[in-house]
Chains A and B, each alone.
Chain A
Amino acid sequence: MMGPVWEVAVYHFKREVFKKSYILTLLSLPLFLVFTIGLGQLATSALNNDIRIGVVDPGGFLQVLSIEGRQETAEIIIFNSKIEAEARLRAETDPLRVIYVLPANYPGNREVDMIYEDYPPSEAREYFSDILKTNLLAGQQEALRNRAIEGPLLTIKAISVNREFPVNNPSAELLIPLMLAVIYIFTIFPIAGIMVGALGDEKTNRTIEVVITSISPRTMISGKILAVSAIALLQVTIWIFFFVGAAWISGNWFDIVFFQDITVHWRDVVAIASLALPGFVFYGAALVMLGSLIDDSETLQQASGLVLIPLFLPIYVLPVILDQPDGLLAMVFSFLPITSVQTVGIQSLFMEVPSWRIATATGVSWLISLGMTWFAVRAFRVGMLRYGKRIRIGELFNRKQFAR
Chain B
Amino acid sequence: MNLEKIWLVMRQEIYTTMRRAYFVIFAFGLPVIMGVIAIVFYAINSNAPQTPDEEVPPVEDIVQGFVDPSGYIQSIPEGIPLYTFIEYTGEEEAHAALERAFISGYFVIPEDFLETGELTYVVLNFNFAEDRPNTIVFERLLGLSLFGDDLALGAAAMEPMILTTREIVSTSGPIAQDNWLAEQLPFFLVILLYIVILVPAGVLVNSVTDEKKNRVIEILLSSVSASQFFIGKLLALGLLGILQTLFWIGTIWAVGEFGGRPLNLPSDFTIPTQLLVWAVIFAFMGYAMYGTQMAGIGALAPDVKDTRSLTMLILAPLIVGYTFNIIFLEAPDSTIALALALFPLTAPVVMIGRMAVANIPWWQPALSLLLQVVAVIWIVRLFTRLFRAQTLLSGQPLTLKSLITALRTT
Contacts and interface: CB of A to CB of B under 8 A. Distances in A.
Interface of A: 20-21, 24, 28, 35-36, 39-40, 43, 46-47, 86, 89-90, 100, 107, 110-119, 129, 132-133, 136-137, 143-144, 147-148, 150-161, 163, 165, 167, 193, 197, 201, 204, 296-299, 301-303, 305-306, 309, 316-317, 319-320, 322-323, 325-326, 329, 350-351
B163 A298 contact: no
Contact of B139 (A20, A154, A160, A309): A154
7 contacts: A118-B172, A156-B126, A158-B125, A193-B305, A297-B206, A298-B20, A301-B206
A302 B160 contact: no
Interface string B127-155: 01101100100010011001100000100
Given A129-B161, A152-B113, A155-B120, A116 B168 contact: yes
Contact of B168 (A40, A86, A129, A351): A86
Interface in B4-42: 20, 22-23, 25-26, 30, 34, 37-38, 41-42
Contacts of A153: 116-119
A156 B123 contact: yes
B338 interface: no
Contact of B129 (A86, A136, A302, A323): A323
Interface string B143-181: 100110000010011111111111111111000000000
A164 to B, nearest CB: 8
A20 B42 CA distance: 45
A160 B25 CA distance: 44
Interface string B203-215: 1001101100110
A347 B243 CA distance: 38
Contacts, number: 205
A204 B163 CA distance: 70
Sort chain B's interface into a size bin.
Answer: 35 or more
Contact of A299 (B20, B95, B312, B331): B20
Interface stretch (B187-195, B276-284, B322-330): B322-330
B33 to A, nearest CB: 9
Given A111-B162, A317-B41, 15 more contacts: A36-B326, A47-B331, A107-B156, A107-B160, A110-B160, A115-B167, A116-B165, A132-B161, A137-B157, A143-B115, A144-B146, A147-B117, A204-B213, A306-B30, A320-B44
Nearest to B178: A119
B131 A156 contact: yes
Interface in B303-337: 303-305, 308-309, 312, 323-324, 326-327, 330-331
A158 B126 contact: yes
Contacts of B124: 158-160
B161 A323 contact: no
Contacts of B210: 296-298
A355 B347 CA distance: 52
Contact of B23 (A136, A302, A317): A302
Contacts of B209: 297
A133 B160 contact: yes
Contacts of B164: 111-114
Contacts of B324: 39
A155 B126 contact: no
A83 B8 CA distance: 68
A296 B214 CA distance: 9
**9 pairs of A and B residues whose beta carbons are closest in the complex:** A302-B22, A132-B160, A152-B119, A298-B206, A112-B161, A43-B327, A350-B126, A153-B117, A160-B124
B85 interface: no
Contact of B326 (A43, A119, A151): A43
B393 interface: no
A48 to B, nearest CB: 10
